[in-house]
Chains A and B, each alone.
Chain A
Amino acid sequence: MDLLQRDRLKRRALVSAVIVAEAVRCVECGICTYNCPQGIDVRDHVLSGLPVSDAGCLTCGECVARCPRGTLRFEVSPLFRDRVGPGRPVR
């Protein structure tokens, strides 16, 4: 597989991902929102319980990586979203 194609595949996988949060870990510090290059209010999504499925999200992972509490994660398929309750293990 050439590099470009691999890149494209990776991109497709990432684009179908959304950022979801485990709200109980969040302390509302705002680091995620502050570091989002797209200006998405990630914290507000966490507080309202909604995943970041904003069309502007680059799935760059800045918010996931910088959250000091491990609150955020990628979830690959939005189809599974509603079936995942709090505290349930998800891969």
Chain B
Amino acid sequence: MTRRYVIVGNGPAGVAAAEAIRRHDTAGEIRIVGGEDTGFYSRPGLAYLLTGAIPEESLFSRPASDHDLAGIHRTVGTVREIDPQRHRIVLFDGQAMSYDRLLLAVGARAVRPAVPGIDLDGVVTLDNLDDARRILRLARRAKRACVVGGGITAIELAEGLAANGVETHYLMRGDRYWGSVLDPYESALVEGRLAEEGIRIHRGVELAGVIGRKGRVAAVETRDGSTLACDILAVAIGTQPRLELAHLAGLQTGRGIWADATFQTTDRDIFAAGDAAEVLDPETGKRGIDSLWSAALDHGRAAGEQMCGVGRPYRRPAPFNVTRIGGVTTTLIGAVGTGARDVDLVTLGRGDSNAWREHADAFAVVSDGEANHLRLVLGPDRLVGAVVMGDQALSRPLQHLIRERVDIRWARDRLSRGPIEVRKALQALIERTVPLGAA
């Protein structure tokens, strides 16, 4: 009998799942339902659309024809209802689809702070292409913008607005940028770069409300009672997995949709993956959420296999993200958390992982005073995390040492003995575990 697979979500998790299913089940009927009326595009690329580095067409990375050839059907529409008993979903336009296996890859949405005026025209978040288009439209007429929040998205919004000639003010609630993940030196490095781009940083400022005129943003008001006139307020205080469909289906949820290491939810025929899923790591017994492009692809691939009844349980690798913040290429690997609370993010941001918040008690730091900086997070017997800013030469070997949990005990002492020793010890570790250039 032909198996019917329905995937809700046309993002990386959904698409990777569809492709994996096709590899293992050549006869199955595969349908993707996505809420956006565009084809598959790069969400992280939206930041570069805002700065003008690429035109919109460049975001579309996978031609629809590839999926047509693979017999993957795509429907534009929003799912309104799931009936797990009858194995059926219904879209808002009334269309119904039956499934044998269902995947929820519905992603996460930006949260907005509960302050007066937050729904005024001119308050923006950055979740999708429509949002980016709206921001660009608004920026054309705007003189001044305020940005609140933290993590990567807040910076991308600020840089995008500034690149469009808008006077941009970044209002930080805390006293430094992304304090839960970056150390003070790293925060200062990014802040210095932003200042060079003309972005004005305000510290210890908390948004109290948005003041409107004729339904549009006219100013922001802060807790200390002062106001700052602006035409745009961009918000990036964190994201929330979309849970509505899971609730309708009676699935168990926490911060995200609960899934086990085979991506199965609490209903055996419904799976969850990507930003929306809170996945159990059988090794630690903990559930984790990532908001990462490569993690969403991994999830999707693994979930697709499981939906076909093949594949191995998922082991969450040390999360990994590389991004350009304030013009500095930055790689975050594994547990790099500083232990500090981040007051600018109320939940997980985009390009973020809760594993970065876990922190160890020992660090090794090497900085050259310019934009090149390296921070290693040391566990008792292995490296648990690393931050690599600027020169990326060590990023790949470090990723290997962390992901493969390479034993560092014999070099650990040297790793805490100052910059020169750190470099030497690292080199020795790398050479000893994976000889350069060898397979």
Where the two chains meet, the residues of A that have a C-beta atom closer than 8 Å to any C-beta of B are 22, 24-25, 27-31, 33-34, 43, 47, 68-70, 80, 83-85, 87-91
**Dominant secondary structure at the A interface:** loop
Interface set, chain B 302-322, CB cutoff 8 A to A: 320, 322
Residues of A close to B113: CB separation below 8 A: none
Known: A29-B59, A69-B324. 5 other contacts (CB 8 A): A29-B42, A29-B54, A47-B61, A88-B439, A89-B430
Residues of B close to A90: CB separation below 8 A: 396, 436-437
* A-contact 0/1 string along B21-63, CB 8 Å cutoff: 0000000000000000000001111001000011100111110
Please report the total number of B residues contacting A with Cβ < 8 Å: 35
Residues of A close to B96: CB separation below 8 A: none
B42 touches A68 (CB 8 A): no
Q: For the complex, what is the distance from the CA of A23 to the CA of B403, rounded to whole Å?
A: 16
B329 touches A68 (CB 8 A): yes
Q: For the complex, what is the distance from the CA of A91 to the CA of B438, rounded to whole Å?
A: 11
A24 touches B54 (CB 8 A): no
Closest chain-A Cβ to B428's Cβ sits at a distance in Å of 13
Residues of A close to B395: CB separation below 8 A: 70
Where the two chains meet, the residues of B that have a C-beta atom closer than 8 Å to any C-beta of A are 42-45, 48, 53-55, 58-62, 293-294, 320, 322-324, 329, 331, 392, 395-397, 399-400, 403-404, 430, 434, 436-439
Residues of B close to A28: CB separation below 8 A: 42, 44-45, 61-62, 293
Which one of A70, A80, A83 has the greatest number of beta carbons of chain B within 10 Å? A70
Q: Which of chain A's residues has its CB closest to B430's CB?
A: A89
Closest chain-A Cβ to B160's Cβ sits at a distance in Å of 13
Residues of A close to B438: CB separation below 8 A: 83, 88
Closest chain-A Cβ to B393's Cβ sits at a distance in Å of 9
Closest chain-B Cβ to A50's Cβ sits at a distance in Å of 15
Given contacts A29-B42, A31-B53, A68-B324, contact A87 B403 (CB under 8 A): yes
Of the residues B58, B397, B403, B439, contact of A29 by C-beta under 8 Å: B58
- State the 9 A-B residue pairs at the shortest beta-carbon distance, nearest first: A29-B45, A30-B58, A27-B44, A28-B61, A28-B42, A89-B397, A83-B439, A68-B324, A70-B392
Q: For the complex, what is the distance from the CA of A30 to the CA of B44, rounded to whole Å?
A: 11
